[in-house]
Copies of this chain bind each other. A is one copy, B any other.
């Protein structure tokens, strides 16, 4: 946790440190990130970093906390805008489009997300992932439950399996377009910028087929998506 000194800090100095640290950790992760570099880029004495944070790990935790909260805030706002009461897989498609677009437009958040996923230091990775996973689940679980209540999911749908898959698919969709070799099948990491939109639909089609109710009134979307690939 940041020190009280940090909480009392002027906005300019604060954001200089945050900016420098985000950039550095995004680029090299926790283990690879250098406090020397962060201090230099922030125009701050190296010792000052230790006035604000207990140690490197503390700074890293703060940076990733702030970052993942920022993403969550954005997504919750978007969820509200996207009318989550619509048929679930239709809504999910739009949601994932927004998700993909967000990371396309925010390279630093993307890099931060990637860095946390690929961190070598077990403790650092575990604690960061715990936070990120909590955010994911606190947002997604209510949506999924509501969908089941509405009848958009099969009565016997394995909801936890659905959440588990979303927890793999969402980082994949966010990062794969920017990491060579990460998606060797669906071609997310190719140049064509419309790819992600197609891939979203293909994944949603799978989820819809697996978890969606057979109620015909909801199948329109799914069938359309089923034809999206070729």
Task: List which A98-127 residues lie within 8 A (CB) of chain B.
Answer: 115, 117-122, 125-127
The count of chain A contact residues (Cβ–Cβ below 8 Å) is: 50
A32-B120, A120-B31 in contact; A184/B226 too (CB < 8 A)?
A: no
Q: Which of B119, B165, B167, B210 contacts A120 (CB 8 A)?
A: B119
Task: List which A118-138 residues lie within 8 A (CB) of chain B.
Answer: 118-122, 125-127, 129-130, 133-134, 137
A68 CA / B130 CA spacing, docked (Å): 28
Q: Verify B126–A179 contact, CB threshold 8 A.
A: yes
> Smallest CB–CB gap between A200 and chain B, Å?
11
Is A180 part of the contact surface with B, judged by Cβ < 8 Å?
yes
Is A80 part of the contact surface with B, judged by Cβ < 8 Å?
no
Name which of A122, A127, A211 has the most chain B CB atoms within 10 A of its CB: A122
Q: Verify B31–A182 contact, CB threshold 8 A.
A: no
